[in-house]
Structure 1
C-alpha cells in the first residue's frame, strides 16, 4: 500500500483526467454545439486545456476562443444547452479508463475503504460513465458540479463527503489531476494526491504542491 494511504479512512476521486480520459467525447460535443451555431470547431487539443471547471465554463471558454471576446448570456445559454444535448446522447462513446484505475479502485474497495467521486461534471452524466466501465458499485457517494451550491475548487463538496461518511477530514484523501482538486482538498483539510497525466490547463500539477504524486493509480496498491 502506498504510504500516502497511511491512516486514511476515505478516498475521494476526481473523474475527468483522473479516472477517465473523456476529452474525445467532450470535444465532439463542444464542436457539435458550435456547429449548431454556425461556428468553427474548437478541436480536441484546445478542449483538453479547457476542461475542469464544469460544462458551462467549458462552453464559455470555447465561445471566447471563437469570438475573441466573452459571449453574452443568451448565446452562452444556447451553446451550453447544445453541448448538454450532444454530450448526453452517449457520454462514454470514446472515453477510456486510464491505466491502473481499475486495479486501484478494485483493491481499495476490497480493503473496505469508502470511496467517493467528486467531479465538476454535471451529475446527470456520472452514472452513465461509471456504468460503461462497471464502476458504479465502487462509490458510496457521487457528487457532480451541480449537486451542491458550490463546486471545486471550493472545499464544500469535500467537506460534504467527509460529513456524509462521518470521517474526519484529516483521515481523508483527495485524488485528482488539477490545481482545483488540490486547492479543494487542502482547503477541506484532506491529504492530497495528484496524477500528472490529466487536464490542468497546460500547467504541471506538481506546481500546486500536492502531498504526493503518482504516475499511475496502480501505485496506490
Structure 2
C-alpha cells in the first residue's frame, strides 16, 4: 500500500461501504422471485452481489431473461425495495466512530453512490450519522455514474476541496476505477460486497481496509 498523507476530504460509496444494505436488497429480489413462483436466492448468494444494485441481482437470478425483461423486472424490484428500504439495513460496525474521527480532524465527508436519488434520499434519513452529511451525489445526479469520475469530481467541487486532496473509499471495482480516474487516493473496503469471482488485487487501489476503523490509521502511522 502507498504511504499516505491525511486527506482534506473523504468521499465514500454507500452500499457495502457505509451501509450494509444487502439484507433489504436481497429481500426485494426474493419478493420479485416469489411473485413469479421462482426459487429464492440465499443470503450467501446475493450478499456479494449487492454492490451491483438491481441490475446485478436480477441478472444473477434471471440470467439471459433479465435483458429481455429489464425494465419490467427493475420496476418490480425497486417497488419492493422502496417498500422496505431500511427494514434490516444497518451501518457497518465502526462507521459511526470513523465519521466522528473525521469530524474531529476537520476532514470533510461526502457520499458518492450509484443508488438512484429517490432511493438515496429515502434511505439516508434513517441513519442520523449519514443524514448529517451535506454533500451526497447519487447515480442520477449527473448524466453519468461511476466508474465515470465526474460524480467524484462534482462532490469535491461542492466541498471546495482539490481532487488530489480527496480520498475515495468503496468496495467495488467501479469505485476504484472512478477514484483513480478522478486522480484521488483510492481505498478498497474489503469488508464490503466482494464476490469470489472478483479480483480486487487487480483493481489498483492505493490502499485497503478490512474494517472502517482502519481508515484513519492509513495516515496516522
Question: Per-residue deviation at 1:61?
Answer: 3.3
Distance 1:46 1:30 in 2: 11
> How many residues end up aligned between the 2 structures?
213
For residue 213 of structure 1, give the secondary structure of its aligned residue in structure 2.
strand
Change (3 A) 1:148 1:201: farther
Task: Quote the residue 2:177 is aligned against.
Answer: 183
Question: Per-residue deviation at 1:37?
Answer: 3.0
Give yes or no for contact 1:177–1:198 (8 Å, CA) kept in 2.
yes
- Residue segments in structure 2 that go unaligned for 5+ positions in a row: 217-221
Task: Quote the residue 1:35 is aligned against.
Answer: 34
What does the per-residue CA deviation read over 1:112-144, in whole Å, with 9 as the maximum and x for residues that have no partner? 222111111222222343222212343221122
- Residue segments in structure 1 that go unaligned for 5+ positions in a row: none
Distance 1:62 1:157 in 2: 29
1:193 to 178, 187, 190: 187
After TM superposition, the runs of 4+ consecutive aligned structure 1 residues lying more than 6 A away are none
1:130 to 107, 121, 124: 124
1:81 to 66, 75, 78: 75
Task: Quote the residue 1:53 is aligned against.
Answer: 52
Distance 2:104 2:172 in 1: 27
State the TM-score, normalized to the length of structure 1.
0.87
State the TM-score, normalized to the length of structure 2.
0.87
Give yes or no for contact 2:21–2:50 (8 Å, CA) kept in 1.
no
Question: Per-residue deviation at 1:23?
Answer: 0.9
Question: Per-residue deviation at 1:197?
Answer: 1.2
Distance 2:200 2:18 in 1: 16
Question: Per-residue deviation at 1:204?
Answer: 5.1
1:101 to 79, 89, 95: 95
User: Aligned pair 1:113/2:107, yes or no?
Assistant: yes
What does the per-residue CA deviation read over 1:25-58, in whole Å, with 9 as the maximum and x for residues that have no partner? 1100001012223322223222223222332343
For residue 174 of structure 1, give the secondary structure of its aligned residue in structure 2.
strand
